[in-house]
């Protein structure tokens, strides 16, 4: 395990885990914590896990930026924002686009930059008591860490714009109804459910999951012809793989497949 500035990462079998551990500061991302998170993402991805699980300790998954640091910065707030986002934005992009499944577990309230961190995942699970509050407009700022991008991708541009402009708390059921989160669990069940899902994904047919992520992430930028050609090329690659042979044989034999890559 490696932990810096309240950001821990470690390997749990095939699952790479990142956990925010600044619960006394609502897991906010100031200058040091943001740099530590960026390093944790990069270091963990270098270990090539089968899946990544994002979690946080405490009642707040991530409250966004550290308001005390913002206050202290005063007239140099723009410089502080640059220091925070220069390492963090590229790391969030690498995590979101990594060729593996990413799961996040929102254990409580989430706001600001935490929205981007939580919603960059392919699977977003949450506690039944969670609340989402964007918060930016309420303090005269605008989104960062991909919050506007990932929120719009999940709930649609029009609704994301409204949630961002109003900065009002959005409860768990509304988040679920509009697709901001994928499933809700009692607080005690969230951690085990999220970890079980991450392990299930990590032990699946990895290259198959990568192909699926590639196809679904970029479909809007491709014509139908381009997309069909990409599907054919990826399927041809998969058809030559050991995982495909094992998966088909397991299906015929009515047993669980034992995927192991090529």
The total number of structural domains that make up the chain? 2
| Long-range pairs for 9-13: beta carbons < 8 A, 24 or more residues apart | 9/40, 9/41, 9/43, 9/44, 11/44, 11/47, 11/49, 12/53, 12/195, 12/199, 13/199, 13/202
Q: Are 37 and 52 in contact (CB under 8 A)?
A: no
- Mean pLDDT within 209-227: 93
* Domain CATH for 184: 3.90.226.10
- Predicted confidence (pLDDT) per residue in 24-70, tens digit: 999 999 999 999 999 999 999 999 999 999 999 999 999 999 999 99
Residue 261 maps to a domain: no
Sheet containing 131-133: give its strands across. Answer: 60-62, 109-111, 131-133, 170-171
% of residues, the chain, pLDDT over 90: 96
Return phi, psi of residue 252, to 5°: -65, -40
Residue 261 pLDDT: 52
Residue 260 maps to a domain: no
Average pLDDT of the chain to the nearest whole number: 96
Residues 103 and 132 in one domain: yes
Q: Which domain holds residue 244?
A: 206-252
- Mean pLDDT within 123-127: 98
| Distance, C-alpha 225 to centroid of its chain | 30
Instruction: Return the DSSP state at 254.
Output: T
* Domain CATH for 216: 1.10.12
Residues 22 and 77 in one domain: yes
pTM, two decimals, is 0.94
Return phi, psi of residue 109, to 5°: -65, 150
């Amino acid at each position: 395990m490696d932990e810096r500035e309240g950001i821990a990462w470690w390997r749990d079998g095939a699952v790479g885990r990142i956990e925010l551990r600044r619960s006394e500061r609502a897991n906010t991302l100031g200058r040091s914590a943001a740099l530590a998170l960026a390093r944790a993402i990069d270091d963990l991805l270098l270990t090539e896990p089968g899946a990544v699980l994002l979690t946080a300790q405490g009642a707040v998954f991530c409250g966004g930026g550290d308001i005390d640091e913002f206050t202290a910065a005063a007239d140099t707030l723009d410089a502080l924002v640059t220091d925070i986002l220069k390492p963090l934005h590229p790391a969030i992009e690498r995590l979101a686009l990594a060729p593996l499944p990413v799961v996040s577990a929102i254990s409580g309230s989430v706001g600001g930059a935490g929205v981007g961190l939580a919603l960059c995942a392919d699977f977003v699970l949450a506690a039944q008591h969670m609340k989402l509050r964007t918060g930016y407009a309420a303090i005269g700022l605008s989104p960062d860490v991909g919050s506007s991008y990932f929120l719009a991708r999940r709930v649609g541009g029009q609704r994301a714009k409204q949630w961002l402009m109003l900065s009002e708390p959005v409860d768990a059921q509304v988040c679920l109804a509009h697709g901001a989160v994928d499933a809700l669990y009692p607080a005690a069940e969230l951690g085990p459910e999220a970890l079980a899902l991450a392990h299930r994904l990590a032990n699946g047919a990895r290259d198959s999951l990568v192909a699926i992520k590639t196809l679904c992430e970029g479909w809007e930028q491709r014509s139908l012809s381009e997309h069909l050609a990409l599907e054919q090329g990826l399927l041809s690659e998969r058809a030559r793989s050991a995982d495909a042979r094992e998966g088909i044989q397991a299906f015929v034999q009515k047993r669980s497949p034992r995927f192991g890559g090529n």
